[in-house]
């Protein structure tokens, strides 16, 4: 009789039926993900593990454990830069252009260091950050060393997850094989490779707001703000109120941000013409939806960063920053 595989215990914990199954502890989750990332779990075990978690729904302890294991394997520069804001981009856009990129770039040009990371290509028919940045004359960084140099020069960097962790990228790529997203889509967003004190999260399903906030507290994240973003990205939907769940120094708050655009629901952008991103930045076209999405997203970030004390001052500061952008260039080094 063969001895049980070392990873089998984690599948057994999750899959013993309605009365005997349970969630993994944070320590168990960290051990399990460390084995997966080291290639010590069999493909059959990985598929079973991810789908059992999907059926059960991941817990904050599991997400925190997975993040700890993933962070332990990141190859960091010898001198990591001080970053103000961690910005994840894993959903992709299909209904509206990725206006959140202009918000992140404007914050960077105003002096805050923004580290962006994301997963791409795992869902057909979506636009991802690399293509959008390319339309603006920018490109992803090859690794965290290159990101550190870009941050020092431009206050902004973007690294795709395949350069951070090919193993995580491979797991994200299982979606068309398994037929469903998995917990990887949740924990990858929280990698925060340069340990920025402020983290933003955008989700599609409201239930994940508390999941991310609770996991952030377990991870000791100083500040985390999570809201339901357009398409699941960190982008405010200007024609709807926006509930923001915040973690700050271990304490929770919830705020409702007002509608910024008093118009009917925005129709999907059928063209998804990426050249509009640059044209809006340069002031060549006027787009009320884009302006509201960009400034509205910046307002949430400014509040999380502590640059504004309340919603009204954050909105006013964001509007002013957006009006005063240098339309001739995106970043200091460009």
Summarize pLDDT for 247-304 with one digit per residue, the tens. Answer: 999 999 999 999 999 876 778 888 999 999 999 999 999 999 999 999 999 999 999 9
Predicted pLDDT of residue 120: 93
Considering the domain architecture, whether residues 33 and 139 belong to the same structural domain is answered as no
- Residue 127 and residue 264 in one domain: yes
> Does position 19 have pLDDT exceeding 80, yes or no?
yes
Nearest to 130 by CA among 98, 106, 153, 85: 98
pLDDT value of position 264: 67
pLDDT computed for residue 130 by the predictor: 96
The tally of domains found in the chain comes to: 2
Tell me the backbone φ, ψ of residue 84, rounded to 5 degrees: -85, -40
Helix, strand and coil in the chain, % to nearest 5: 45, 15, 45
Domain assignment present for residue 170? The answer is yes
Regarding whether 39 and 139 lie in a shared domain, the answer is no
Residue range of the domain that includes 287: 85-323
Share of the chain above pLDDT 70, in %: 99
Q: What is the pLDDT of residues 83-121, one digit of tens each?
A: 999 999 999 999 999 999 999 999 999 999 999 999 998
Domain finish residue from 72, 101, 122: 72
255 part of a folded domain? yes
Tell me: do 13 and 146 sit in the same domain: no
- 247 and 126, same structural domain? yes
Alpha carbon distances (Å) from 313 to 27, 199, 224, 270, 319:
42, 20, 19, 35, 10
Q: What is the mean pLDDT of residues 78-84?
A: 90
pLDDT for the residue numbered 267: 84
- φ, ψ for residue 266, nearest 5 deg: -70, 130
pLDDT in tens, 134-157: 999 999 999 999 999 999 999 999
* pTM of the predicted model as reported, rounded to 2 decimal places: 0.96
Q: Which residue has the higher pLDDT, 334 or 208?
A: 208
Residue 28: pLDDT band (50, 70, 90) is very high
Q: What are the residues whose beta carbons fall under 8 Å from the beta carbon of 287, sequence distance 6 or more?
A: 276, 280
Whether the pLDDT of residue 54 is over 80: the answer is yes
pLDDT band at 334 (very low <50, low <70, confident <90, very high): low
CATH of the domain at 167: 3.40.1030.10
| 330 found inside a domain | no
Residue 68 sits in the same domain as residue 99: no
Task: Note the pLDDT of residue 1.
Answer: 59
Which pLDDT band holds residue 80 (cuts at 50, 70, 90)? confident
Closest by Cα among 86, 97, 225, 190 to 147: 86
Got the DSSP string for 115-162? EEEE--SSSTT-B-HHHHHHHTT----SSHHHHHHHHHHHSEEEEEHH
């Amino acid at each position: 009789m063969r001895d049980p595989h070392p990873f089998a215990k984690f599948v057994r914990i999750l899959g013993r039926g309605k009365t005997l199954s349970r969630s993994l502890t944070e320590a168990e989750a960290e051990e399990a993900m460390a084995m997966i990332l080291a290639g010590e779990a069999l493909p059959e075990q990985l598929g079973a593990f991810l789908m059992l978690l999907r059926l059960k729904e991941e817990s904050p302890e599991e997400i925190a454990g997975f993040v700890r294991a993933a962070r332990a394997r990141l190859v960091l520069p010898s001198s990591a830069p001080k970053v103000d804001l961690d910005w994840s981009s894993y959903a992709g856009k299909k209904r509206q252009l990725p206006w959140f990129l202009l918000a992140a770039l404007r914050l960077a040009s105003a002096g805050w260091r923004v580290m962006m990371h994301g997963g791409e290509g795992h869902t057909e028919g979506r636009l991802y950050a690399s293509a959008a940045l390319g339309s603006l004359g920018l490109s992803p960084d090859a690794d965290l060393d290159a990101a550190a140099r870009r941050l020092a020069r431009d206050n902004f960097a973007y690294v795709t997850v395949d350069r951070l962790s090919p193993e995580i990228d491979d797991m994200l790529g299982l979606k068309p094989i398994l037929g469903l997203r998995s917990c990887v889509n949740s924990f990858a967003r929280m990698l925060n490779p340069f340990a920025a004190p402020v983290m933003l999260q955008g989700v599609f399903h409201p239930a994940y707001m508390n999941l991310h906030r609770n996991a952030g507290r377990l991870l000791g994240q100083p500040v985390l703000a999570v809201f339901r973003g357009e398409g699941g990205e960190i982008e405010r939907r200007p024609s709807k109120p926006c509930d923001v769940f915040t973690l700050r120094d271990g304490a929770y708050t919830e705020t409702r941000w007002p509608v910024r655009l008093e118009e009917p629901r925005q129709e999907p952008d059928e063209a998804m013409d990426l050249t509009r991103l640059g044209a809006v930045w340069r002031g060549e076209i006027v787009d009320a939806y884009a302006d509201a999405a960009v400034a509205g997203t910046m307002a949430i970030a400014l509040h999380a960063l502590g640059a504004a004390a309340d919603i009204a001052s954050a909105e006013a500061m964001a509007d002013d920053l957006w009006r005063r952008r240098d339309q001739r260039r995106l970043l200091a080094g460009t």
